[in-house]
Amino acid sequence: MRRRHAAAAVLVWCASASAAQRASPARASRGSATGKAYGRRGDVLAAARSIALEHALDTRWVEAALAQARYVPAVAQLVMPGATPSARNWRAYRARVVEPRRVEAGVRWWSDNEAWLALAEQRYGVPAAIVVGIVGVETYYGRITGAFRVLDALATLSFDFPGGRSDRSGFFRAELGQFMRLASREGWDPAAVLGSYAGAMGLPQFMPSSVLNFAIDFDDDGRVDLTNSAADVIGSVANFLAEHGWQPELPTHYAVEPPADTTERALMLVQDIVPSLSAAQMVERGAQLDEAAQQHQGPLALVELRNADAAPSYVAGTQNFYVLTRYNASSTYALAVIELGGAIAAAR
Q: Is residue 207 located within the same domain as residue 274?
A: no
- pLDDT tens-digit profile of 285-338? 999 999 999 999 999 999 999 999 999 999 999 999 999 999 999 999 999 999
What per-residue confidence (pLDDT) applies to 25?
A: 38
Instruction: Name the strands in the sheet holding 301-307, side by side, starting at the edge strand that comes first in the sequence.
Output: 288-289, 253-257, 310-317, 301-307
213 plus 257 within the same structural domain: no
213 with 283, same domain: the answer is no
204: domain CATH number? 1.10.8.350
List, for the chain, all residue ranges whose pLDDT scores fall below the cut of 70. Answer: 1-34, 82-87
> What's the pTM?
0.89
Q: Do 150 and 219 sit in the same domain of this protein?
A: yes
Q: Is 118 helix (H, G, I), strand (E, B) or coil?
A: helix
Query: Which pLDDT score is estimated for 26?
Result: 42
Q: At what angle do helices 59-68 and 169-186 cross, to 10 degrees?
A: 120
Are 315 and 215 in a shared domain? no
Given this model, what pLDDT does residue 115 score?
A: 98
pLDDT score, position 33: 61
The three-class DSSP label of residue 298 is coil
Domain shared by 196 and 324, yes or no = no
Q: Which of 201, 224, 208, 206 has its CA nearest to residue 148?
A: 201
Q: Using CA atoms, how far apart are residues 74 and 32, in angstroms rounded to an integer?
A: 9
Compute the half-sphere exposure of residue 221: CA atoms within 13 Å on the CB side of its CA: 12
Assess contact for 166 and 80: CB atoms under 8 A.
no
Say if 129 falls within a structural domain: no
Q: Do the domain assignments include residue 107? A: no
- Does 92 map to a domain? no
Asked whether residue 290 is domain-assigned, the answer is yes
**In sequence order, what DSSP letters do the residues of 11-22 get, joined into one string?**
EE---SHHHHHH
Burial of 7 (0-12, 13-18, 19+ CB in 10 A): exposed
Contacts of 118 (CB under 8 A, 6+ apart): 128
Do 198 and 322 belong to one domain?
no
User: Looking at 232, 265, 289, which one is the last position of a domain?
Assistant: 232
Give the separation between CA 339 and CA 333, rounded to whole angstroms.
10
C-beta separation of 13 from 186 below 8 A: yes
DSSP tag of 162:
P
**Is 98 inside any structural domain?**
no
Residue 268 domain boundaries: 253-339
Catalytic site positions = 138
Domain C-terminal end among 200, 232, 264: 232
Q: Give the closest residue to 224 by CA, choosing from 189, 186, 190, 188.
A: 186
264 and 224 belong to one structural domain: no
Looking at residue 81, its pLDDT comes to 79
H/E stretch holding 307 reads strand 301-307
Give how far Cα 41 sits from Cα of 70, 147, 181, Å: 12, 25, 21
Q: Within this chain, do residues 172 and 287 fall inside the same structural domain, yes or no?
A: no
The pLDDT value recorded for residue 4 is: 36
Whole-number pLDDT of residue 29: 41
Q: 278 near 299, Cβ under 8 Å?
A: yes
- Domain match, 316 and 168 both: no
Q: Is residue 53 part of a domain?
A: yes
Q: Are 230 and 223 in contact (CB under 8 A)?
A: no
Report the candidate in 203, 27, 211, 50 with the shortest Cα–Cα distance to residue 116: 203
Residue 348's identity, in one-letter code, is R
Rounded to whole angstroms, the Cα distance separating 213 from 203 reads 16
What is residue 49's predicted lDDT score, i.e. its pLDDT?
98
Closest CA to 145 of 21, 56, 59: 21
74 and 160 share a domain?
yes
Kindly state whether residues 153 and 275 are assigned to the same domain: no
* Amino acid 16: pLDDT: 32
322 is a domain residue: yes
Of the three residues 173, 199, 232, the one that is the final residue of a domain is 232
Secondary structure of 226-246 as H, E, C letters: CCCCHHHHHHHHHHHHHHCCC
CATH number, domain at 327?
1.10.530.10
Total structural domains within the chain: 2
Asked if residue 317 belongs to a domain, the reply is yes
Q: Count other C-beta atoms under 10 Å from residue 6's C-beta.
A: 13
Answer for the pair 148, 30: CB distance below 8 angstroms, yes or no: yes
Picking from 180, 145, 169, 166, the residue whose alpha carbon sits closest to that of residue 63 is 180
